[in-house]
Amino acid sequence: MNPAAGFAALAAVCAATVLIGIYGLRISRTTGDFYVASRTVPPWWNASAIGGEYLSAASFLGVAGLILVSGLHGLWFPIGYTAGYLMLLLFVAAPLRRSGAYTVPDFAAARLDSRPARLVTSAVVVVVGWLYIVPQLHGAALTVRITTGLPGWAGAAAVVLVVVCSVVTGGMRSITFVQAFQFWLKLTALAVPLFFILLALGSGSRPVDTGGAFLPGAGPLPVYGTISLLVALLFGTLGLPHVLVRFYTNPNGPAARRTTVIVLGLLSVFYLFPTVYGVLGRVHTADLAAAGQADATVLLLPGRVVGGMAGDLLTALVTAGAFAAFLSTTSGLVVSLAGVVSQDLFRGSVKGFRRAAVLSALVPLAVALSTDSLALAGSVGTVFAFTASTICPLLLLGIWWRGLTDAGAITGMLAGALLSGGAILLAAVFGTGLGPFRELLEQPAAWSVPAAFLVTIAVSRATAPRRPASVSRMMARLHAPERT
């Protein structure tokens, strides 16, 4: 493909992001604006922003790559990513908005009336955020390498640079603009090339499906793997820090619920596109799977099918969409991490927020540059397992169960972190040497999430006298509807 088109696409997306960020700066004034856009964003706008922030490298590139490699079973990823929002709607959205906290640690502190619980939650949130940023930077490295021929680190560094600039100057308010824009950019960047691809396939009498696209995958049935993956994705989404912080930008509880329903609709439409790319990729870019470059399916398919000048333009559009995905998810994570870090380390000032933003972006950059890319959807899946085992029990039990104590929440989070984190590390280090246990350790969510819940409940029961005195008031605050 033509590197000039790739460069132009990257430059355009970065420029648009920075420009919208500067526009946002002009109307972002108070500390409230900086952290959560003063909670005045209307549902449609907020939903687009949530979609823009959530659709990461794993969704834009990873889903198609996964379908290319593992066929039908790859379809469970977008289902889990979307259904996670249903769980968020059912159990978390409105009460969390009413809690009035800025971040998950704020929620823990308010609900449990405990400083240690707040600190442990902060530490977990920071780990989750960093783990989640790393695959975004790997995706950026892959995209830059394939579309421009530059070394991969340039892509990761560019993402971090643009994100830090836009976050430091505008905070959450401009991020909301940027992310809403980037959702629609991502959708367009997949939909328009797909239209031309199908047109070219239709008119050129080339087969859309040679029969091989839909064959069931070989090998044993991944029963445990699929169930564990679904547990991780369903319960991991509601603990993701960058998703949660978005809900505070809703004006009230019912608006938070409405926003979530709109997000579900937007995601349902969006995931049709990577799915079709994956299916077409099984016919037209099948060689990428063997080359270990399955994640490049979305980037290469337009050029392979359409070709020529038109192919270059379409590739440039897809590249722009991919870069929007890395930028928006990374900036969302950096905003939420900076919110957490600055409240605990820098006492919540705007200056502290800026410092924390730089810190939150540089650490994962260092990790990304010193590690190699795995399959994008897979590595994001392990982050979901970790989140589901740590933050999810705190949120669900904190919102719905009066009996939760700070000791229970802390031991539950630590147990979940040790179990899921340890299992994933073991699987990564020993790999095939683990035999039949490998699958159990690679996808720990099916057992580590229930274990974390059990530990949390058991310790809370044993330390029942530590229940905060404010629990009745807090429950009323979380669940009583706003008056209008």
Partner 1 sequence: MNPDLPGAGRNGRTPGGPAAGPERVRVTGPRARGTLSPGRFTVSHELDEQSEVGELFIRSLIRSQLRLALVVAGGFGAIVLGVLLLVLFFPGSYGVTVWTVPLPWLLLGLGIYPVLLACAGLYNRAAARNERRFRELVSEPER
- Minimum CB separation from partner 1 for residue 226, in Å? 6
Does residue 155 sit in helix, strand or coil? helix
In this structure, what are the phi and psi dihedrals at residue 434, rounded to the nearest 5 degrees?
-85, -10
Is 448 near partner 1 (CB under 8 A)?
Answer: no
Region of 196-204, 209-217, 327-335, 428-436 interacting with partner 1 (CB under 8 A): 209-217
Subset of 264-283 contacting partner 1 (CB under 8 A) = 264-265, 268, 271-272, 275, 279
Subset of 279-318 contacting partner 1 (CB under 8 A) = 279
Task: Measure the CA–CA gap between 37 and 381, rounded to whole angstroms.
Answer: 29
- Contact letters (x/-) for partner 1, 116-155, by CB under 8 A? ----------------------------------------
Region of 93-101, 137-145, 323-331, 370-378 interacting with partner 1 (CB under 8 A): 93-101
Contact 376, 387 (CB under 8 A): no
Which CB atom, from 6 or from 74, has the smaller least distance to partner 1? 74
- Contact letters (x/-) for partner 1, 63-82, by CB under 8 A? ---------x--xx--x--x
Distance of CA 179 to the CA centre of its chain: 13
- Alpha helix positions (H), 55-114: 57, 63-70, 76-91, 93-99, 104-112
Catalogue the E-assigned strands of 383-441.
none
Is 253 near partner 1 (CB under 8 A)?
Answer: yes
- Minimum CB separation from partner 1 for residue 345, in Å? 14
Residues in the chain: 484
- Alpha helix positions (H), 371-470: 376-400, 406-430, 437-442, 445-462
- Contact letters (x/-) for partner 1, 344-373, by CB under 8 A? ---xxxx-----------------------
Token pair for residue 127?
């780990």
> Of residues 202, 422, 431, 481, which one binds partner 1 by CB under 8 A?
481
Is 199 near partner 1 (CB under 8 A)?
Answer: no
Q: Count CB atoms within 10 A of the CB of residue 129.
A: 27
- Minimum CB separation from partner 1 for residue 429, in Å? 30
- Alpha helix positions (H), 28-70: 31-36, 43-54, 57, 63-70
For residue 479, what is the enclosing H or E element?
A: helix 471-479
Is 227 near partner 1 (CB under 8 A)?
Answer: yes
Is 41 near partner 1 (CB under 8 A)?
Answer: yes
Region of 52-60, 181-189, 435-443, 473-481 interacting with partner 1 (CB under 8 A): 473-481
Alpha-carbon separation of residue 317 from 196, 250, 287, 447, 458 (angstroms): 12, 32, 23, 42, 53
Subset of 5-34 contacting partner 1 (CB under 8 A) = 27, 29-32
Token pair for residue 153?
């680190």
Task: Measure the CA–CA gap between 253 and 30, rounded to whole angstroms.
Answer: 23
> Of residues 114, 343, 379, 411, which one binds partner 1 by CB under 8 A?
343
Is 89 near partner 1 (CB under 8 A)?
Answer: yes
> Ramachandran region of residue 79, left (φ > 0), alpha (ψ -120 to 50) or beta?
alpha
Distance of CA 49 to the CA centre of its chain: 13
Which CB atom, from 135 or from 278, has the smaller least distance to partner 1? 278
Is 254 near partner 1 (CB under 8 A)?
Answer: yes
- Minimum CB separation from partner 1 for residue 112, in Å? 14
> Of residues 7, 12, 23, 91, which one binds partner 1 by CB under 8 A?
91
